[in-house]
Structure 1
Amino acid sequence: MSKLETKVVYNHPKQEPVGAVIWLHGLGADYNDFVPIVPELRLSESVKFVFPNAPVIPVTVNNGYHMRAWYDILNFNDLHREVDSNGIIINVEHINTLIDDLINSGIPAGKIIMAGFSQGGVISYYTALKSKYNLGGLLVLSSYLPDLSLLSVEEMQHKKELPILVCHGTQDPVVRIEYARQAIQYLQSFNLSYQWLEYPMEHSVCYDEIVAIGAWMKQIFAK
């Protein structure tokens, strides 16, 4: 069992789920953050949505204030971000336990999507790209890859069939779009397939983006 507290939502509660989405919130939010989006995705397939809570830790760049965070941010400016990479790996392992639990419950790895916003997107990136399973998809919203040394060439070479959707706001002042594009360039260097969508928004989610996410998920769960 995972050490993370989770909230589980079914889009069609009376039907057996054919797949699952593990959706991670951003810095300072909690597992309720993306629950309202579930019905907006308009998925006809029955899907189990798992929303984990990040642990409460002191965040260095916020003067050590305790908040829900997937890892500590030690320093950041326009050119550089320094993060606690060990904290990233620890929470990737916690998410791996959630994936194992879903598979043990009968949901195939190929029907499990990793999704996350901002810090949650970071954990989703590393979880899906490092996973021993061939997951159903990777959804990254307003996020980036802060430490490429955490990924090996071998891991990346085994993810060429992984469906990836990356969305970002062109006016994002928190995670600048240049950071997101650097992550995309890294995916390109290993010939990974992906969809890249930009929206005229800041560090948030918009309606058109939700529509695109729903359409993308339908393709995965309908296979």
Structure 2
Amino acid sequence: MCGNIMSASLPAIVPAACRATAAVIFLHGLGDTGHGWAEAMAGIRTPYVKYICPHAYVLDIFYYTPPSEIHNGLRLVRWPIKALIDQEVKNGIPSHRIVLGGFSQGGALSLYTALTTHQKLAGVVALSCWLPLRNSLSKSMISNNKDISVLQCHGEADPLVPLIFGRLTVEKLKVMLNPSNITFKTYSQMPHCACPEEMMDIKQFIKKQLPKIN
């Protein structure tokens, strides 16, 4: 859970313990697969929530990547995410009952997707990441997710994606979205990975954004 790769195999899934009325789609980081995060999600699972952790295609979207390549890569890789959302809608879970999230590169992609998709989502969990193309994004580009809730988390000792990237991202998000819906949490001495405190914060955010329904 401390890295980022993506292969085209079927996603790792943690099924709901009862009838699934909500879903979380969580994207891993570079050099990783969905299996590690599926195991992590199983540890904080909510009974009526289905957790989907796809294995992504290789994509490098760090800040030093040329902007044109970032844009083209994001545009291409965003479609499988849209397809996953559409599939859950077909399965009976509306998009507004779906939280999109990710770690590092996966978190960057989840933020970018939430801001640019027409699918209304329940929320975004963005871990140890940044907002790609933040200088070219504007309020006018956001359609159905202007009031989306975002949980952004970052380790204060992250050597790969420095904390300043997270701070710049949350500043931009508060300009583009309703600032009262943006939560930014940092974790002392945490490097480029997750910690138990962070996982509990994620669990509480998911329960709040995806409350139980009859």
TM-score between the two structures when normalised by the length of structure 1: 0.82
Given the superposition, is the C-alpha separation of residues 150 and 120 from structure 1 closer, same or farther in structure 2, using an over 3 Å criterion? Answer: farther
Query: In structure 2, what is the equivalent of residue 162 of structure 1?
Result: 148
Greater fraction strand: 1
Query: In structure 1, what is the equivalent of residue 123 of structure 2?
Result: 137
- 1:86-114 residue CA offsets vs partner (Å, 9 max, x unmatched): 11111111111111111111101111010
Query: In structure 1, what is the equivalent of residue 26 of structure 2?
Result: 23
Cα root mean square deviation, aligned? 1.9
Shift of 1:149: 5.5
Structure 2: any 5+ residue segments left out of the alignment? 1-7
DSSP-derived class of the 1:28 partner:
coil
Whether 2:48 is the aligned partner of 1:46: answer yes
DSSP-derived class of the 1:115 partner:
strand
Instruction: After superposing the two structures, state which structure 1 stretch, 118-127 or 81-90, moved more.
Output: 81-90
TM-score between the two structures when normalised by the length of structure 2: 0.86
Q: Could you say which structure has the larger radius of gyration?
A: 1
1:105 to 86, 91, 95: 91
Query: In structure 1, what is the equivalent of residue 182 of structure 2?
Result: 194
Query: In structure 2, what is the equivalent of residue 9 of structure 1?
Result: 14
Given the superposition, is the C-alpha separation of residues 4 and 183 from structure 1 closer, same or farther in structure 2, using an over 3 Å criterion? Answer: farther
Q: Matches of 1:185 and 1:202 in 2, distance apart?
A: 22
Would you say the 8 A contact 1:157–1:190 is kept in 2?
Answer: no
Q: Matches of 2:143 and 2:56 in 1, distance apart?
A: 29
**Aligned sequence identity (%):** 32
Would you say the 8 A contact 2:112–2:132 is kept in 1?
Answer: no
Q: Matches of 2:135 and 2:170 in 1, distance apart?
A: 16
2:164 to 178, 189, 199: 178
